[in-house]
Structure 1
């Protein structure tokens, strides 16, 4: 009962001679420290808010303008050209102040107005400069004089030492493409996928839409682009993610793996302690806006809006829609109030069917890594049994959304169930202390496959799939993340993950025994078990969701593949884009695997615009098809066809990044048509086309906190996602350093036409085949129109 006595903050006893009051000094000290920390945090947030609010100027520049204006009074020079006397003075009382006082106040007011005007002028100048995207279309390594001048101007107007949100007001809006351009690019993208009759039919539908309904829909879209900060993002989030009724496990959520070759410690509680502490440090800098903004070329800023919702965020299911909230209170059957809380001081930990609430602060500070290790070890040592229905409770978040919403309303809107659910949904994030070791092991052929499936879906009831992210800690010291997709895209989570891994390994570190550094604090209150009263009806709903989720998880065919034959270094020597190289290899692998070409999705970011998220690059182009056919039936200069296809892909990628993509524009036109009750056969057909090959590149070295040339073993394995189509593949890849590319391939066992391992072998063969095109002897022969084929180790010409 020692911990129970420590939890008593004060006692009072009523006696005949009065009241005997006893206060705990520790509690009073903690209250004092918590208050000091809270006020200090508010002061820092206010200061950083002011710095970001006046950026690219600085607060001290106001004083400079005021001093300059005051100095002009003494030398009898009026830089306002009479505006001070004519406009400002009449608003000041002439009866209660002297002429000199009124002149000083007038100068200060005018200087303040001038200062604000200059700030807005700087911002709009920077916004105009950032609206120029000609630099992105220039060849790599060849920068024109105009781009050099533009880059110098951007640097000059960008100010010094920007904070995370300093550039938000200067980012341009995402432009609405012309309908003619979008339809032309769309028809061009589907031309290699359709026969002549199908293409003619699609062309008729497209032209009919362009000539009849498109103009009206486009006008509403342009109106929205003027009114909203981004004409795509809110509808994309709502209709693609939040209105979806199917399970988000596998279908929406994605995962990110740990370091590939290095495990800093094999103690589960210690690794979790360091990682959680690093996350708290990251969150503190995030709340204060102290992270440096991401910038392309080290100069062009990218939007940071998505990062605001990284912590304390939960996706709440609804009957008609889904409400994503930091904390949500249910008032009626379908009505939700969304409250955004900037901070929460606890996390919820799941271990062997039990939920624990762990406080992250003590005495106004974060728990130290050693203290967190103590708390997690206490949970690992706890042998109590799950309460009835508790073991598979999280399966509700893995199943279909409507049953989960109804169960939540009926069984978790009152009593202890509501209190416990609120604790989970308001937690900083969710932590699972897993009981089965995972990670990459070169001695085991399928170790990466098992690791990925564990992160993607686990046991279907040991991750809270609605949380912004679930941190998973394994008994062998490996970690990973399962992330919910509606609030942000993978690069945002990857930004945090790079910070966490670098801080964990190079700043916090471990003792020789593998424990967290620092003294053990046994005086912390024990983690609190969340209490549940789950009825038989609710248990049945949990069981139903679990069966649905398990069926989905068991159908995932995953293959992780490390391509070590070459990497970015060799590809760059070939004077081509690594991404284009891999995308063309995927097209070649897809054709060899399926015998046909398919609509291909590659994700591209639009974060150079305010509130930008993603755009689609349709990688299966006519040029790519021509190259693949030449590889399978050689009759021409394959290297020339490759370069042509790679250039086309790069141009498509650049158009997508600069707001001239195809799919987001058509998607928004479709949404407007539904609001207006206008039926369009063309838009219906476009939005119903399946993406049988969905691809994405995982970014790395966003922060450059780890020098992988100096520490080549400290590289991440990237992440992946589930298959998008029932009969298709999902492929995520990460280009690691100069000599390694990791592929994460997913499909479904239920499809007789797909096999993830087989597709991985096709990718390997395609990569090597394309590499051979750049062999000097092949290059020389192809210049003469000759073809070199390697067969059985012999050369045939």
Structure 2
């Protein structure tokens, strides 16, 4: 217990001669340096609050305003039109007594200058907010940019000329608007038209009209009232009712995963990979805390995206409750939680206010790997509690983990910066069956052994025995683009900035006096062990039912697609419609997630990718109609998809509005047959695109092997598919397909083959078109990428 003695700053004993006080100067020095780090962070936060509080102006602009006012006063001019004199009359009596008339005049001028400066800041912020509320630029054709948009771009660039902090734009982002109820109903009916027969569509139209005339407008008024009061009328209800109130397992059903590089493993040394990965994540957290990360923007533009989801990235845990879970976030944490061979450890990553070097973290991880101690009774599978149903976990947590040693150990996990699993398996595309190994790699990251991940943590890192790594993320606190940004930074920093020695170890020096990682202790009674077994059985059945298939599509990528003046996302989505039609013999309601982060605290909206136009194209192609006709229908379907995507991004979506109307109806205690039916419709094809956001960290052209595999999620419907894809470079698209073995109508490998064939067939069709209509060209700016959303509406 050497580390316990080092943690004691002073000791005293009572002797016949009196009290013998012994000070540990080393421990006191550690306390002092740790306090210095804490105060530096506080000062940094205060400085950042001032800088982002006055954005788009700067703190130094206050001095400019003051000097300008004093100069004009010196020139016998009154820029305040008498306000300075009035301020002087209302100065405290003590200032009138202690200051001369000239001093009082200067103080009054300073007060007026400050008020004027604050007014100018509010005016600039209002102007920026109005500018960011303009979205017509997204709907303009390439090469046909209006004069209004050109002026708008100039003004946005002018007001955004100062280098912003991560959260500088937050107060300038517009609020998400509530669409007109008639517009939403019309768009909904249009989206389901290809899926319904004429009698079914007539019935649904009657339900929609009845809803609008009877209950809809009443619910709409409440929703507009909320939109006036709340920052975002969707996000809080979405987080609570779609995620936190779910009582079923979050493993597979909600959590999603991210993978390592496809071809490259920077080092085969497990402890070294863990050292660099943990360091890279903590460097990202440092940048996040200091707000040194650049605000995310619409790709290719200066338009900022909301950064609110970054706030709970680290030191966050989803805590189970009886009826609803709670997201708990702590301001800081100087340790990570580590799981290996059924044991839990607390690994301190700071010492005396200093972040340990990658080599020191590797050294500490190796100590954990070499630790021969066995798990305590009931410890090895304890993590299964986070993989099972939420209510039993809540009851067990409250009864057995709310005090004593169990609470202290659980706190060490929940308050940790993040969770790390040192897995004894080897994963990746390797060996004689690389395709099958990729599928097993995906399943391992999605659910593991159902007890060797802590699924409640905001994210968990998995480091495999052969040096491969990956990530499992909890969904309620943020969507995949936020986690993807973190993961891209981590992989690039690990491989290209931190690096390894020739023998595969981390760089840096080792302080061998570091205390051993702290083993967490538990007292697990038989009642808890029984619930662990029950949760594990449920989770294992869920995990065994997941059919994952991961495959790189190498025949062509966005480079060839864009040469044909087609949106890559639209190309893939129409390909998915064709693949699904061939696989299931019909069409299905299709979910594609679009971000709404153009608005403050925006999260996602649904792009209903199965449209009248896409269905017409698929039927024409499968019906053997003329190629020219099929190409024309494909262009129409592509344009329609892009328009649906833009509408979803700009607040004119369908599903979030209907979801919030449904929540209001439940609060009012009224039932709507229309809303109930709409929100119970299954998403048998749930799709998403993982964005590539940080290519500036390394050059993919010069490092072509460092291709990201992206990530995926479990199937949303029991009889459906979950499809995630990432467009990497110019010539590759990586797909992640999931379904359930228990459904006889689905097969992930079969559907993957259908996707490949559909993409080939569409490319052959459109490549034969020698003339590309100008009307089919893309938007003025590249589209932002959507993110995974692996949850049902109900």
Scaled to the shorter chain, the TM-score interval is: over 0.9
* In 2: Cα distance, 1:526 partner to 1:130 partner: 52
Match of 1:73 in 2: 73
- The change in CA–CA distance for 1:98 and 1:520 in structure 2 (over 3 A counts) is closer
Structure 2 counterparts to residues 726-765 of structure 1, below 5 A: 726-765=718-757
- CA offset digits 1:400-458 (Å, max 9, x no partner): 11111111112111221111111111111100000001112374221110000000000
2:88 and 2:619 map into 1 onto residues whose CA distance is 75
- Bigger CA drift: 625-634 or 584-593? 625-634
1:347 matches 2:350:
no
Alignment partner of 1:579 is 2:569:
yes
Is the 2:710–2:734 Cα contact (8 Å) retained in structure 1?
yes
Deviates more, 1:86-95 or 1:29-38: 86-95
Aligned partners of 2:294 and 2:88: how far apart in 1? Answer: 40
Q: 2:624 aligns with which of 628, 634, 638?
A: 634
Distance in 1 of aligned mates of 2:580 and 2:277: 39
Moved more, 448-457 or 85-94: 85-94
Q: Paired residue for 1:130, among 100, 113, 132?
A: 132
CA contact under 8 A between 2:165 and 2:292: conserved in structure 1? yes
Query: What is the match of residue 706 of structure 1?
Result: 698
1:220–1:672 contact (8 Å) kept in structure 2: yes
Whether the aligned pair in 1 keeps the contact of 2:73 and 2:79 (CA below 8 Å) is no
Moved more, 400-409 or 135-144: 135-144
In structure 1, distance between residues paired with 2:664 and 2:140: 35
Tell me whether 1:673 sits opposite 2:665 in the alignment: yes
Secondary structure of the residue aligned to 2:420 is: strand
Q: Note closer, same or farther for the CA distance 1:15–1:187 as it changes in structure 2 (3 Å cut).
A: same
Moved more, 459-468 or 7-16: 7-16
Unaligned runs of 5+ in 1: 327-340, 784-797
Aligned ranges for residues 386-397 of structure 1 at < 5 Å?
386-397=375-386
* Partner-residue secondary structure (3-state), 1:249: coil
Query: Aligned partners of 1:74 and 1:632: how far apart in 2?
Result: 83
- Indicate the residue corresponding to 2:531 in structure 1: 541
Quick check: 1:706–1:714 contact (8 Å CA) kept in 2? no
**Alignment root-mean-square deviation, CA:** 1.6
Q: 1:168 to 1:96 in 2, by over 3 A?
A: same
Q: What secondary structure does 2:475 align onto?
A: coil
Does residue 325 of structure 1 match 2:328?
yes
**How far did residue 573 of structure 1 move?**
0.6
Q: Deviations over 1:147-203 (max 9, x none)?
A: 222111001011311000000010000010000100000000000000011100000
Is the Cα contact below 8 Å between 1:605 and 1:615 reproduced in 2? yes
Is the Cα–Cα contact under 8 Å of residues 730 and 745 in structure 1 kept in the other structure? yes
CA gap of 1:110–1:780, structure 2 versus 1, over 3 A, is: closer
Q: Which residue of 2 aligns with 1:12?
A: 12
Secondary structure at the aligned position of 1:182 is classed as: helix
Q: For 1:690-705, what aligned pairs fall within 5 Å after superposition?
A: 690-702=682-694, 704-705=696-697
Kept after mapping to 1: 8 A contact 2:88/2:105: no
> Are positions 1:376 and 2:333 aligned together?
no
Bigger shift: 366-375 or 580-589? 366-375
Of 591, 604, 608, 2:594 maps to: 604
Between the aligned partners of 1:566 and 1:618, the Cα distance in structure 2 is 26
Q: Structure 1 pair 40/2, CA: closer, same or farther in 2 (3 Å)?
A: closer
Shift of 1:41: 1.6
Bigger CA drift: 675-684 or 717-726? 675-684
Residue of structure 1 equivalent to 2:241? 239
Q: Deviations over 1:485-515 (max 9, x none)?
A: 0000000001111111111111111111111
- Aligned residue for 1:432, secondary structure, equals strand
Q: CA deviation at 1:140?
A: 4.0
What is the CA distance between 1:37 and its match in structure 2? 1.4
| DSSP-derived class of the 1:248 partner | coil
- CA deviation digits over 1:496-542, x for unaligned, max 9? 11111111111111111111111222211101111111111110100
1:441 pairs with 2:433: no
Aligned to 1:367: 356
Structure 1 SS opposite 2:697 = coil
- From 212, 219, 222, the equivalent of 2:221 is 219
Q: CA deviation at 1:775?
A: 2.6
Residue 494 of structure 2 corresponds to residue 529 of structure 1: no
Match of residue 276 from structure 1: 278
Shift of 1:5: 5.2
Query: Does 2:403 correspond to 1:409?
Result: no
Shifted more, 563-572 versus 443-452: the winner is 443-452
What is the aligned partner in structure 1 of residue 789 from structure 2? none
- What is the SS of the residue equivalent to 1:460? coil
Query: Which residue of structure 2 lines up, in the alignment, with residue 42 of structure 1?
Result: 42
Q: TM-score, normalised by structure 2?
A: 0.95
Alignment of 1:411-560 (within 5 A): 411-441=400-430, 443-444=432-433, 445-560=435-550
Looking at structure 1, the residues matched to 585 and 751 of structure 2 have their Cα atoms a distance apart, in angstroms, of 12
Match of 2:376, SS state, is coil
Is the contact made by 1:495 and 1:703 (CA closer than 8 Å) also made in structure 2? no
Select which of 248, 255, 263 maps to 2:265. 263
Give 3-state SS (helix, strand or coil) of 1:80's partner.
coil
SS of structure 2 residue aligned to 1:72: helix
Among 282, 304, 308, the alignment partner of 1:305 is 308
Are the structure 2 counterparts of residues 682 and 523 from structure 1 closer, same or farther at C-alpha, using a change threshold of 3 Å?
same
In the alignment, the residues of structure 2 paired with residue 143 and residue 275 of structure 1 have an alpha-carbon distance, to the nearest angstrom, of: 44
- Matched position secondary structure for 1:557: strand
CA contact (8 A) 2:564 2:772 kept: no
Structure 2 CA distance for partners of 1:5 and 1:671, relative to 1, 3 Å: closer
